[in-house]
Amino acid sequence: MSIFTGAGVAIVTPFHEDGSVDYEKLGEIIEDQIANHTDAIVICGTTGEASTLTHGEHLKAIKYTIDKVAKRIPVIAGTGSNCTETAIMLSKEAESYGADGVLLVTPYYNKATQKGLIAHFTAIANSISIPVVLYNVPSRTGCNILPETAVTLAKNVENIVAIKEACGNISQIAKLAALADGCIDIYSGNDDQVVPILSLGGKGVISVLSNVAPQETHDMCQKFFDGDVAGSREIQLKAMDLIDALFCEVNPIPVKAAMNLMGWNVGGLRAPLTVMEEANQQKLAKAMEEFGIKLA
């Protein structure tokens, strides 16, 4: 059984003016996401700026989210690292807090061979008993999980059950779906490829868009599952300009700007990320309004 089907939000981490994590605001965002039918919360992923949180902040954010959600929907904790031992530590802690699964990004900077990826992910998965979602995002990590590697892991490690595919290469994802033949759940990691990946048998999306349009992102998936492919496609195509604006600078710069434009007051970004360029912010605001999002 899948950890979730539909739209899982790759949720932002809000900050106070002094740069500390604003847990109260995080709680408000979580409640709004659940009210707008988000199907899962993914905490401390790329969008959540996990790479610039301390280990203490990282673990506190995971525990806070699990406690706040209180089993209403699944919580998947981002616990990946380019250090296998660190990823094991974070994953064990997330499991002890009650996470429904973990999201493990490929090792970045030091990277790995395909053999190394198998060893890395196997060691982490074997240290816990909850489900593991692999996260393939070579544009950020310089490391690509080949379809054969994902299938090998899914067939040989019991709790490696899914992959978030953000390689951007729909042909590679189609090959993965063909080789897997259902042995691994596939989630879109790119908001502009949700419907194409659903058409290949995907289970949903782990979404940046869901931060600002949770109901619509949920509906895009649900309509597809209900057989309303035209309705699903309509939402996908309507969202394309907004998705483009949400990725016109490196994520999560635009999505935090978008949430601040909506009045969420999620704060700034941890260095080395910087405030969005004014021209891009104007483009973002225009795309949001055209999509039907009310600005503060």
**Which residue in the list 63, 68, 164, 223 is annotated as catalytic?**
164
Helix 214-225 and helix 229-238, axial crossing angle in degrees, nearest 10: 150
Check: CB of residue 251 under 8 Å from CB of residue 282: no
Tokens of 83: 């250090």
- Name the nearest CA neighbour of 212 among 250, 254, 248, 249: 254
Give DSSP secondary structure letters for 179-231.
HHTTSSEEEESSGGGHHHHHHTT--EEEESGGGT-HHHHHHHHHHHHTT-HHH
In the residue annotation, 164 being an active-site residue is answered as: yes
Q: Which tokens in the block code for residue 118? A: 């198998």
**160-165 and 40-43 strand pairing:** unpaired
- Give the active site residue among 135, 187, 203, 256: 135
CA distance 59 to 56: 5
Structure-token pair, residue 29: 């965002």
Q: How far apart are CA 81 and CA 234, in angstroms?
A: 37
Burial of 270 (0-12, 13-18, 19+ CB in 10 A): middle
Rounded Cα gap, residues 149 and 11, in angstroms: 28
Q: CB within 8 A of 57, min separation 6: which ones?
A: 21
Is-catalytic flag, 64?
no
Q: Classify 165 as helix, strand or coil.
A: strand
Known catalytic residues are 135, 164
